[in-house]
């Protein structure tokens, strides 16, 4: 149903008006993500299960993708339909002006979830929606334009179907920095950002990452220290929207780049026993121009003295091996107990953010830290945070003391 009037309709119906968009977060990061969005000056968020919702125009959606560190993806709410039959679903979906949101010939993918719906066959739902969209879009001008990374998210509940367009594309935890061959089960950048936020890291402090593994914590800290937005090195699905205006996007990037800074000396010190992990981290830092922020060394945490890094207490981030990185039984508990003993002995006064399975809370309890619960790789994990030796300001759930 494309016509010469479509560009004008896109300007009036998509570019000029406000939209609802839903920011998806990892379980446990909903409130932290909403707080981050508010601190960034984005529209006031409403916290919901699985994320938070806000209303704004497209440039605000672009800025959210570019800047938010704890977000997983951002969805543009399109429409909600009620349907009790497949023909009814297709007919109602065909009334929506898809040509304002998708380019000619686009064949989007679908992610469908249903709960208590009479239409419960996810594949059939996707097929009917694809047919409805195809009936609205003009054929592609050439074969290449038919290739699309667009995805429609469909959530059905009680015969009501919420349709949303993915603005992000690849999950936002993929910053575009990591080199191929990274360590097994790397920490997601969104969780690293949450840990740094809980520890109070601003980019000004000395930060020690002595079990760096894949280097996610150090890379995220380097972006913060150099004032580089989380999405600076990657592309987004909204680049392919008919309503996308490159000048508006370049304006956002220019504004962001004014805050970039070059550091005279590293403030982040990353180390690991694994020489290959250190080499890959150094490559990622070089590729992203972050080498001025981070110093990498092949060292064992248990022989490292904090005074070698800083004369005054700084911030310590730790993601010891567990789960797929280490057998989840006795060896992981033994390692964690040794880490806790080392922290108590050598790091008094340091602020810390420590990842550990929630089931290992008793091992961490002697540190007297707060706990923020998240899910990582299917495991229930706690981010244990505060100041070693006392003085930490409670910001989350306190760890039960044994």
Over the Cα atoms of the chain, what is R_g?
Answer: 23
Closest CA to 165 of 76, 58, 33: 76
Residue 133 within a domain: yes
255 with 148, same domain? no
223 with 145, same domain? no
Closest CA to 313 of 216, 368, 197, 391: 391
127 with 212, same domain? no
217 with 328, same domain? yes
342 with 290, same domain? yes
What are the per-10-residue average pLDDT scores of the chain (402 residues)? 80 96 97 96 95 97 98 98 95 97 95 93 96 90 61 96 98 85 73 98 98 95 98 98 97 97 97 94 94 97 95 96 60 93 97 96 96 91 92 38 30
What gap in Å lies between CA 209 and CA 315, rounded to an integer? Answer: 9
For residue 181, the model assigns a pLDDT of: 52
393: three-class secondary structure by DSSP: coil
Closest CA to 154 of 197, 90, 227, 240: 90
Residue 63: which CATH number? 3.30.2130.30
The range of the structural domain enclosing residue 310 comes to 189-229+244-398
For residue 1, the model assigns a pLDDT of: 47
79 with 208, same domain? no
Closest CA to 69 of 294, 222, 278: 222
What gap in Å lies between CA 395 and CA 20, rounded to an integer? Answer: 30
Range list of β-strands (E), 40-166: 46-48, 51-56, 71-82, 109-115, 151-157, 160-166
207 with 162, same domain? no
317 with 260, same domain? yes
Residues 103/238, Cβ–Cβ less than 8 Å: no
159 with 216, same domain? no
Token duo for residue 50: 């699985």
Provide the domain count of the chain: 2
What gap in Å lies between CA 351 and CA 208, rounded to an integer? Answer: 10
What gap in Å lies between CA 337 and CA 318, rounded to an integer? Answer: 13
Residues 99/138, Cβ–Cβ less than 8 Å: yes
Residue 259 within a domain: yes
**The 351-357 sheet, strands edge to edge:** 294-298, 268-272, 207-209, 315-318, 351-357, 379-387, 370-376, 397-398
Closest CA to 183 of 297, 273, 299, 290: 273
Residue 178 within a domain: no
For residue 329, the model assigns a pLDDT of: 53
Residue 292 within a domain: yes
293 with 393, same domain? yes
What gap in Å lies between CA 59 and CA 372, rounded to an integer? Answer: 32
Q: Locate all alpha helices (DSSP H) within 258-317, ordered by sequence.
A: 275-287
Q: At which residue do the structure tokens 């760890």 appear?
A: 399
What gap in Å lies between CA 36 and CA 193, rounded to an integer? Answer: 10
For residue 323, the model assigns a pLDDT of: 62
332 with 250, same domain? yes
Residue 282: which CATH number? 3.40.50.150
Residue 237 within a domain: no
10 with 66, same domain? yes
What gap in Å lies between CA 156 and CA 246, rounded to an integer? Answer: 34
Q: At which residue do the structure tokens 């979906």 appear?
A: 93
The percent helix, strand, coil of the chain (3-state, each to 5) is 35, 25, 40
Give one DSSP letter per residue of 190-258, joined into a string.
HHHHHHHHHTT--SSS-EEETT-TT-HHHHHHHHHHTT--TTTT---GGGGSTT--HHHHHHHHHHHHT
Residue 154 within a domain: yes
Question: β-strands 151-157, 109-115: how paired?
Answer: parallel
Residue 1 within a domain: no
Residues 371/335, Cβ–Cβ less than 8 Å: no
Residue 184 within a domain: no
**The 46-48 sheet, strands edge to edge:** 46-48, 51-56, 19-25, 71-82, 160-166, 151-157, 109-115
């Amino acid at each position: 149903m494309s016509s010469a009037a479509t560009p004008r309709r896109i300007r009036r119906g998509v570019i000029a008006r406000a939209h609802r968009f839903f920011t998806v977060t990892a379980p446990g990061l909903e409130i932290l993500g909403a707080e981050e969005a508010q601190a960034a000056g984005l529209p006031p968020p409403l916290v919901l299960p699985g994320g938070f919702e806000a209303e704004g125009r497209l440039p605000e959606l672009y800025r959210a993708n570019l800047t938010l560190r704890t977000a997983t993806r951002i969805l543009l709410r399109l429409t909600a339909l009620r349907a009790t039959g497949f023909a009814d679903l297709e007919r109602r979906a065909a009334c929506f002006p898809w040509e304002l949101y998708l380019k000619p010939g686009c064949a989007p993918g679908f992610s469908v979830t249903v709960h208590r719906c009479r239409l419960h066959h996810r594949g059939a739902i996707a097929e009917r929606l694809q047919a409805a969209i195809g009936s609205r879009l003009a054929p592609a001008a050439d074969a290449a334009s038919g290739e699309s990374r667009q995805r429609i998210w469909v959530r059905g509940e009680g015969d009501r179907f919420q349709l949303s367009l993915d603005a992000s594309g690849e999950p936002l935890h993929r910053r575009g920095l990591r080199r191929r061959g990274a360590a097994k089960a790397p920490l997601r950048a969104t969780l690293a950002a949450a840990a740094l936020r809980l520890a109070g890291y601003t980019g000004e402090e000395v930060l020690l990452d002595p079990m760096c593994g894949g280097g996610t914590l150090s890379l995220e800290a380097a972006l913060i220290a150099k004032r580089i937005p989380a999405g600076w090195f990657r592309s987004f699905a909204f680049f392919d929207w008919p309503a996308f205006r490159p000048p508006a996007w370049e304006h956002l990037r220019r504004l962001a780049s004014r805050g970039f800074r070059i550091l005279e000396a590293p403030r982040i010190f990353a180390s690991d026993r694994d020489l290959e992990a250190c080499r890959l981290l150094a490559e990622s830092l070089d590729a992203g121009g972050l080498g001025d922020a981070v110093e990498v060394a092949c060292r064992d945490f248990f022989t490292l003295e904090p005074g070698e890094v800083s004369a005054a207490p700084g911030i310590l981030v730790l993601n010891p091996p567990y789960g797929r990185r280490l057998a989840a039984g006795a060896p992981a508990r033994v390692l964690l107990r040794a880490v806790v003993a080392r922290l108590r002995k050598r790091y008094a006064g340091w602020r810390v953010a420590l990842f550990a399975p929630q089931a290992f809370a008793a091992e961490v309890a002697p540190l007297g830290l707060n706990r923020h619960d998240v899910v990582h790789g299917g495991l229930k994990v706690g981010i244990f945070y505060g100041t070693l030796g006392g003085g930490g300001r409670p910001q989350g759930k306190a760890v039960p003391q044994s």
